[in-house]
A and B are shown apart, each in its own frame.
Chain A
Amino acid sequence: MGQATRVHVLAMISVIWLSTVLADEAPISGKVQVVDPAASTLTIEATSQGKTRRVTVEIKPTSRIVRFVRVGAGFEEQRVQLADMKPGWVISVTTRHEDGREVAEVVKIIFER
């Protein structure tokens, strides 16, 4: 295998790996079951295609948890701490895979009850 071919193959592998890392995660939504500030995790019950699953999402310092508050004719994001969240709230979460775990990018609070 010539050097140019080897470089080419390595470049392709790198690009595929990079694209896998960059691939965005589809959001999930559901009702909050457990809030664990000590472990920095949030467990939600999400249903899809007839199957209900419990998904535990890790909240890192880079994760954003937001609610939307009305300001005039529009809405404004307001940051929320994990410890302030309550079981029963309905949320949507975008995540990324990291070492086999789901790490939250943005948690949006849809309904607080």
Chain B
Amino acid sequence: MKHWWYVPLALVTLAVGVWVTNPPALRANGEDKHEIEEVGHAHVPAPLEYADLLMPPSVWTDQAMIARGKEIYAANCAVCHGEHGDGKGPAGQALPLKPSDFRDRHAVAEMRDNYWFWRASEGGTVEPFKSRGSAMPPWKGTLSVEDRWAVIAYQHTFSGHQGPHVPWEHPEMVQMGRDIYRMACVSCHGLDGQGDGSVGPTLSPNRAPQPRDFTAGLFKLRSTPTGELPTTADLFRTVTEGIRSRGGPLTLGLSGYRIMPSFRHMPEEQRLELVEYVKSLNQGFWTRQDVKTVPVPAPPPETPERIARGRQLYADAECWTCHGRSGRGDGPSAPTLKDQNDFPITATDLTEPSRFKNGATPQDVYRTVVTGLTGTPMPSYEDALEPDQAWDLVYYVLSLSSESHRASGVAR
């Protein structure tokens, strides 16, 4: 055969042709096929509104819940995720973004429960999944919270893991946050989060505030009732804003006399990962049932009458015994104040809002008055004051400083 080489040449040309044309840059909807051969899992933190929607650890191993989840899964999820959770259901085969394979124990171990619940609730309607072409429907309008828990617990069984899906079983789920913590926080808060880093004590030698011990469960800056753990949003706010202070020899370089720097410059996703790691240091964040917050109503207008009532409350509630008659933190009890670790602690100088640890907007001060600062002598006035009275006190406290000081306190 004279031209025998035409056959292999034609095959090579066909292969090149297919390679050139498949995948072309654009498909009908502008997708690049290279990018769409992915599975649905992505390591992104759940947004703050989902961060505290945790499954009770008992649900993961509750056989009744798992059986209920199996029924829901068979009716709603198996068509894409597959009968055996392998992501190979008949409707999932042609999807641009492949359904998750729940048998992938490594990928499953990285998924936090709040992430899972967020995905089951919102489906592909949220970023980054929406942009990647996810077709997953949102189930929050169809399945109750308990039904979503049940189906998640059933999906978890595909991974072969027998226990609850929690950070102390799967350290992988907070790996990224732990890496960030070790770069950014360990020098003050210590390797194990017990507040025993090498630099920490020098920030405020032998005095409060000392770096927080995350394992002890005492958090000052919260929107939750006194004595309770903070919300994820509270921790996120603290990481973002830092903590203001009277300052000390080693804090003068920190903007605004912060004893803890602001990490606002850190990408939001990294701050969320960091917060998830901090939460993992205390199992109470996973075992608490409901996360209740103290509501902060819309601030009423500031009036001279309100400030006058606040002045009377300041006297009646004996705020002056610590904060002083003029609010300078020089009340008769001030020199004797100690925190939960028996360290001397300074009463806040209310004429310097820029140094209020919990922020200096009217809402910030309201939150401080109502929730108190756990671990310090500052009590919660949630039960003692009606919301309107709390606002009176807030506006009186803010009136103790000059306009310029108030403005600098609000500026971040």
Chain B, residue nearest A92 (CB): B94
Residues on A with C-beta less than 8 A from B8 are: none
Contact assessment for A25 and B90 in the assembled complex, using a CB-CB cutoff below 8 Å: no
The stretch that binds A, out of B24-32, B216-224, B350-358, is B24-32
| CB contact under 8 A between A92 and B95, given known A25-B27, A30-B29 | yes
- Cβ of A22 to closest chain B Cβ, rounded Å: 7
Query: In whole angstroms, how far apart are the Cα atoms of A28 and B133 in the complex?
Result: 8
Query: In whole angstroms, how far apart are the Cα atoms of A109 and B130 in the complex?
Result: 18
Residues on B with C-beta less than 8 A from A75 are: 78-79, 89-90
Contact assessment for A15 and B31 in the assembled complex, using a CB-CB cutoff below 8 Å: no
- Cβ of B70 to closest chain A Cβ, rounded Å: 12
Interface centre among B74, B89, B95 (most CB of A within 10 A): B95
Query: In whole angstroms, how far apart are the Cα atoms of A22 and B19 in the complex?
Result: 12
Does residue B35 face the partner (Cβ distance < 8 Å to A)? yes
Contact assessment for A49 and B22 in the assembled complex, using a CB-CB cutoff below 8 Å: no
Contact assessment for B135 and A68 in the assembled complex, using a CB-CB cutoff below 8 Å: no
Residues on B with C-beta less than 8 A from A92 are: 91, 94-96, 135
Does residue B23 face the partner (Cβ distance < 8 Å to A)? yes
Does residue A62 face the partner (Cβ distance < 8 Å to B)? no
Chain A, residue nearest B74 (CB): A70
- Cβ of B280 to closest chain A Cβ, rounded Å: 32
Residues on A with C-beta less than 8 A from B23 are: 26
List CB contacts (< 8 Å) of A56-113 with chain B.
57, 68, 70, 73-75, 77, 90-95, 102, 106, 108-111, 113
Mask for B126-151, Cβ within 8 A of A = 1, else 0?
Answer: 00001111010100001000000000
Chain B, residue nearest A75 (CB): B90
- Cβ of B99 to closest chain A Cβ, rounded Å: 10
| CB contact under 8 A between A11 and B6, given known A28-B29, A77-B90, A92-B94 | yes
- Cβ of B9 to closest chain A Cβ, rounded Å: 8
Residues on B with C-beta less than 8 A from A24 are: 22
Question: How many B residues touch A, CB cutoff 8 Å?
Answer: 44
Does residue B14 face the partner (Cβ distance < 8 Å to A)? yes
Does residue B36 face the partner (Cβ distance < 8 Å to A)? yes
Does residue B80 face the partner (Cβ distance < 8 Å to A)? yes
Residues on A with C-beta less than 8 A from B33 are: 26
Does residue B336 face the partner (Cβ distance < 8 Å to A)? no
Residues on A with C-beta less than 8 A from B21 are: 19-20, 23
Contact assessment for B14 and A49 in the assembled complex, using a CB-CB cutoff below 8 Å: no
Query: In whole angstroms, how far apart are the Cα atoms of A72 and B133 in the complex?
Result: 31
Chain B, residue nearest A51 (CB): B30
List CB contacts (< 8 Å) of B1-57 with chain A.
3, 6, 9-10, 13-14, 16-18, 20-24, 27-33, 35-36
Q: What are 17 A-B interface contacts by the 8 Å CB criterion?
A: A11-B13, A19-B18, A20-B21, A26-B33, A26-B96, A28-B27, A29-B97, A30-B135, A46-B29, A47-B130, A48-B31, A55-B28, A57-B28, A92-B95, A94-B94, A108-B94, A111-B135
Q: A15-B13, A26-B36, A30-B135 are in contact. List 19 more A-B contacts (CB 8 A).
A: A15-B10, A18-B17, A23-B21, A26-B23, A29-B135, A30-B29, A46-B28, A48-B31, A49-B30, A49-B35, A50-B131, A55-B28, A55-B29, A68-B90, A70-B75, A75-B89, A110-B95, A110-B137, A113-B137
Q: Please list the 3 inter-chain residue pairs (A to B) with the smallest Cβ-Cβ separation, ordered nearest first.
A: A19-B17, A29-B135, A23-B22
